[in-house]
Structure 1
Amino acid sequence: MEDQIDFRRMPVIHPYKKILDKAYSAASEASTTVSAQNKLLEIRIKELKRVETANEIICDYLNKIVERTPHVNLMPQYYTEIVSLAIDKEQFKKSLGAVRWAAEKSKELSTTYKKKLKGAQARDLGRIRSEYYGRQSSVLHQIRRDFTFLEDCRARLKNLPKFKEMKTVVIAGFPNVGKSSMLKTLTGAEPNIQPYPFTTKHVRVGYIEKYVQLVDTPGLLDRSLNKRNVIELQAVLALQYLSDMILFVFDASETCGYTMVEQMSLYKEMKREFDVPFAVCFNKCDLVSGDELDKYYNKVGTNRYQVSALKNEGFSKLRDFLLADALPSKKKFYQ
Structure 2
Amino acid sequence: MSLLFPNQWRLLASPPQLYLQAFIFSTASSTAKSPTFWSPTLRQCRNLQTAVSPVVTSSYSPTSYITQKQIETPTSPVKFPPLEPLFIFFECTELWFVQEKQGPPVQESLGAFQKLPMVMPSIDLYSSALRKSKRVQPTKGIANIAKRERNRGAKQLDALMKELALPLKGYMESFPRRRLLHPYERSLIELTLCDGKYEEVLGKVDALRKKVLSVGKEHASLCAKALSKREAEDRLSEGVEKLELVFQQQGIAVDDLLSIAKVLRAMPVVDLEMPTLCLVGAPNVGKSSLVRILSTGKPEICNYPFTTRGILMGHVILNYQRFQVTDTPGLLRRCDEDRNNLEKLTLAVLTHLPTAVLYVHDLTGECGTSPSDQFRIYKEIKERFEDYLWIDVVSKCDLLGGGSPVIYAKEDVSNDEAEIIRYRETGPDGSIHVSVKTEQGLSELKSRVKEVLSSEMEKIKSEVRVDPTVASS
TM tier relative to shorter chain: 0.5 to 0.7
- TM-score by length of structure 1 reads 0.63
Bigger relative contact order, structure 1 or 2, given CA contacts below 8 A and separation 6+?
Answer: 1
Instruction: Please say if 1:191 is aligned against 2:191.
Output: no
> 2:375 matched to 1:268?
no
CA pair 157-267 structure 1, distance change in 2 beyond 3 A: farther
Question: Does structure 1 conserve the Cα–Cα contact (< 8 Å) formed by 2:282 and 2:332?
Answer: yes
Q: Deviations over 1:198-244 (max 9, x none)?
A: x7643432113364321123xx3254346996544545543433543
2:358 corresponds to which of 243, 247, 252: 247
Distance (Å, rounded) in 2 between the aligned partners of 1:136 and 1:180 = 51
Q: Does 1:206 align with 2:314?
A: yes
1:317 is matched with 448
Structure 1, unmatched stretches of 5+, are: none
**One-letter identity of the residue aligned with 2:287:** K
2:160 counterpart letter in structure 1: A
Note the C-alpha offset of 1:180: 3.2
Q: Do the aligned partners of 2:223 and 2:232 also contact (CA within 8 Å) in 1?
A: yes
SS at match of 1:324: helix
**Distance in 2 separating the partners of 1:109 and 1:76:** 38
Compared CA separation, residues 22 and 117, structure 1 to 2 (3 A): same
Q: Distance in 2 between matches of 1:263 and 1:95?
A: 40
Q: Secondary structure of the residue that 2:268 maps to in structure 1?
A: coil
Quote the residue 1:159 is aligned against: 263
Quote the residue 1:69 is aligned against.
175
- 3-state secondary structure, aligned to 1:46: helix
Q: Which residue of 1 aligns with 2:194?
A: 87
Equivalent position amino acid for 2:298 in 1: P
Secondary structure class of the residue paired with 1:79: helix
1:221 equivalenced with 2:330 (yes/no):
yes
Deviation at 1:135, TM superposition (A): 8.0
Shift, 1:115, TM fit: 8.6
**Which has a greater percent of helix?**
1
Residue matched to 1:173: 281
Matches within 5 A, 1:1-335: 4-5=112-113, 9=117, 11=119, 14=122, 23-24=129-130, 26-27=132-133, 29-31=134-136, 38=143, 40=145, 42-43=148-149, 46-85=152-191, 86-89=193-196, 92-93=198-199, 96-97=202-203, 99-100=205-206, 103=209, 125-126=232-233, 129=236, 140=246, 147-148=251-252, 151-152=255-256, 155=259, 158-160=262-264, 161-166=267-272, 167-174=275-282, 177-187=285-295, 189-191=296-298, 201-202=308-309, 203-209=311-317, 211-217=322-328, 220-221=329-330, 223-225=332-334, 230-232=339-341, 233-245=343-355, 246-250=357-361, 254=363, 257=366, 263-272=374-383, 277=388, 279-283=390-394, 306=432, 308=434, 310-311=439-440, 312-314=442-444, 315-326=446-457, 327=460
**Partners of 1:47 and 1:129 within 8 A in 2:** yes
* Change beyond 3 A, Cα 1:205–1:21: closer
Equivalences, count: 310
Q: Distance in 2 between matches of 1:183 and 1:329?
A: 28
Conservation of the 8 A alpha-carbon contact between 1:8 and 1:154: no
Change (3 A) 1:157 1:234: farther
* Alpha-carbon distance between aligned partners in 1 of 2:207 and 2:395, rounded to the nearest angstrom: 61
Deviations 1:259-282 (A, max 9, x none): 865543331133356676251233
Q: Distance in 1 between matches of 2:118 and 2:249?
A: 17
CA root-mean-square deviation: 5.2
Segments of 5+ residues of structure 2 without an aligned counterpart are 1-108, 406-421, 469-473
- In structure 2, how many angstroms separate the alpha carbons of the residues matched to 1:275 and 1:104? 51
Contact in 1 for aligned 2:364/2:396 (Cα 8 Å): no
SS in 2 for 1:277: coil
CA contact (8 A) 1:87 1:153 kept: no
Identity among equivalent pairs (%):
17
**Deviation of 1:170 (Å):** 2.0
Query: Whose Rg is larger?
Result: 2
Q: 1:263 to 1:88 in 2, by over 3 A?
A: closer
* CA spacing shift, 1:191–1:200, aligned 2, 3 Å: closer
Give the counterpart letter for 1:318 in structure 2: V
CA distance in structure 1 between the aligned counterparts of 2:150 and 2:237, rounded to whole angstroms: 13
Q: Which amino acid in structure 2 is aligned with residue 267 of structure 1?
A: Y
